[in-house]
C-alpha cells in the first residue's frame, strides 16, 4: 500500500489565538495544492512557550508561525536565525532544516508585497505606530525597499529608540523615535502611516490608536497590520478623510504564502488564500 496516513504538521503559537484566522487560509492552500499537511492554531502562554517548541520538535513538526507575544521570545528556543530575522531581531516563521529549527521573518516582506503597485517606496517617509516584532520587520523591509525616512512612535521610549537606531545603523534610511505620550498628530511630511500595534484587534474592535484623525491627509496611504477585523476603526477613520487604506489581510496572505514556501517548497496560489479569508469574514458580518 503506497498511501501513508502521517500528515506533515505546521501551526501557530500565539496568545490570544482564537481571533487568528491564519489557519483558514493555510489549510485552504494545502487543500488546493493537494498537500497532506495540517495547520494547527495553538494558544500558548509566554510561560509555556519553551514547552510548546519542545513539543513541536518531539512531534517532528515541519515548522510553525509565532505571533503576539512570542516573536522575540521564541529566539531563545531556536537553533539559529535566517538573515532577515537576525537583522529584525524577531521571528514569525520557524522552519525545520534537518534536526534544527531556524527562525525566519516573513512579516516585512509580506507587508511590502501587499502595498499597492502605485506606491513607490523610494524617497518616501513613513510613520510606524509601535516598535514590536511586526513594526521591526516592516521598518527593516521598508528601509531596504528605499524608504528615505522612518518615524517610530512608541510608548516605551527605549524600544522606540532601539528600533530607530537599528534602521539608521543597518540601512540607508534615516530614522527617528518619538514618544507616544498622548494623542498625536500625523506629521505632514509622512506618506505612509502603519498601525503595527494590536490596538483594534478583535474583540476590542472599537479601539483606535491615539492619533488625531483630522491630521490625516487624503494623499496618505494608511495601513493596519490587524487582520481581524479587516477594516479596523483606524482604517475607517482614515477612509472617512479620503486616505487610501490597506487592510491587514493582504499582509497576512503574503507572509503566510512565504512561510508555506519555506515549509513545503511550493509557491502557493495566494488568491486561494485571500478568497478563503474573505469568505470567512463575509459570513461573520
Class of domain 8-105+250-284: alpha beta
| Triad 115, 121, 125: Cα angle to 5° | 110
Bridge partners, residue 39, by sequence: 10
The DSSP line for 181-244 is -S-BPPPTT-SEEEE-S-TT-TT-TT---SB-GGG--TT-EEEE---SSSS-HHHHHHHHTT-E
- Catalytic residue of the set 71, 170, 185, 239: 71
Whether the Cβ atoms of residue 253 and residue 225 lie closer than 8 Å to each other: no
For residue range 169-202, list pLDDT tens digits in order.
989 999 999 999 999 999 999 999 999 999 998 8
Q: What is the pLDDT of residues 37-47, one digit of tens each?
A: 999 999 999 99
Residue at grid coordinates 497576512: 252
| Angle, alpha carbons 86-87-91 (nearest 5°) | 55
* Domain 109-246 architecture: 3-Layer(aba) Sandwich (3.40)
Chain segment 205-261, per-residue pLDDT in tens: 999 999 999 999 999 999 999 988 889 999 999 999 999 999 999 999 999 999 999
Report the relative pairing of strands 244-246 and 221-224 from DSSP bridges: parallel
Q: What are the phi and psi torsion angles at 234 (to 5°)?
A: -65, -45
In the predicted model, is pLDDT for residue 1 greater than 70?
no
Residue 277's SS3 state is helix
Q: Is the peptide bond before 69 cis (omega within 30 degrees of 0)?
A: yes
| Residue range 82-91, pLDDT digits in tens | 988 998 888 9
User: Cell for 14?
Assistant: 500565539
Work out the average pLDDT over 55-80.
Answer: 96
Structural domain spans, the chain: 8-105+250-284, 109-246
What span, in angstroms and rounded, lies between the C-alpha atoms of 269 and 24? 14
End-to-end CA distance of the chain: 46
Q: Is 71 designated active site?
A: yes
Cell of 89: 531581531
| Equal fold, 8-105+250-284 vs 109-246 | yes
Helices within the chain (DSSP H only): 22-32, 49-58, 83-88, 107-114, 133-144, 157-170, 233-240, 248-264, 270-284
| CA separation for the pair 6, 126 (Å, rounded) | 46
Instruction: Give the model's pLDDT for residue 224.
Output: 97
Amino acid at each position: 500500500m503506497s498511501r501513508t496516513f502521517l500528515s506533515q504538521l505546521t501551526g501557530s503559537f500565539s496568545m490570544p489565538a482564537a481571533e487568528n484566522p491564519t489557519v483558514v487560509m493555510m489549510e485552504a492552500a494545502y487543500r488546493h495544492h493537494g498537500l497532506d499537511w495540517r495547520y494547527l492554531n495553538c494558544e500558548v502562554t509566554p510561560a509555556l512557550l519553551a514547552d510548546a517548541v519542545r513539543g513541536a520538535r518531539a512531534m517532528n513538526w515541519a515548522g510553525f508561525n509565532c505571533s503576539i507575544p512570542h516573536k522575540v521570545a521564541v529566539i531563545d528556543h531556536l537553533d539559529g536565525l535566517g538573515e532577515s530575522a537576525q537583522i529584525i531581531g524577531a521571528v514569525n516563521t520557524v522552519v525545520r532544516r534537518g534536526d534544527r529549527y531556524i527562525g525566519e521573518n516573513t512579516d516585512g516582506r509580506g507587508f511590502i508585497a501587499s502595498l499597492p503597485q502605485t506606491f513607490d517606496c523610494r524617497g518616501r517617509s513613513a510613520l510606524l505606530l509601535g516598535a514590536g516584532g511586526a513594526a521591526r520587520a516592516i521598518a527593516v523591509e521598508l528601509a531596504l525597499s528605499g524608504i528615505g525616512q522612518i518615524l517610530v512612535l512608541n510608548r516605551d521610549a527605549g524600544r522606540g529608540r532601539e528600533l530607530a537606531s537599528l534602521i539608521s545603523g543597518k540601512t540607508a534610511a534615516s530614522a527617528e523615535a518619538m514618544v507616544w505620550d498622548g494623542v498625536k498628530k500625523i506629521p505632514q511630511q509622512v506618506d505612509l502611516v502603519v498601525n503595527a500595534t494590536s490596538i483594534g484587534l478583535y474583540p476590542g474592535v472599537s479601539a483606535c490608536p491615539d492619533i488625531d484623525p483630522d491630521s490625516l491627509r487624503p494623499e496618505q496611504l494608511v495601513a493596519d497590520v490587524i487582520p481581524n477585523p479587516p477594516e479596523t476603526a483606524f482604517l475607517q477613520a482614515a477612509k472617512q478623510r479620503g486616505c487610501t487604506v490597506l487592510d491587514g489581510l493582504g499582509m497576512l496572505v503574503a507572509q503566510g504564502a512565504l512561510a508555506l514556501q519555506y515549509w513545503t517548497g511550493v509557491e502557493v496560489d495566494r488568491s486561494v488564500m485571500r478568497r478563503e479569508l474573505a469568505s470567512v469574514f463575509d459570513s461573520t458580518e
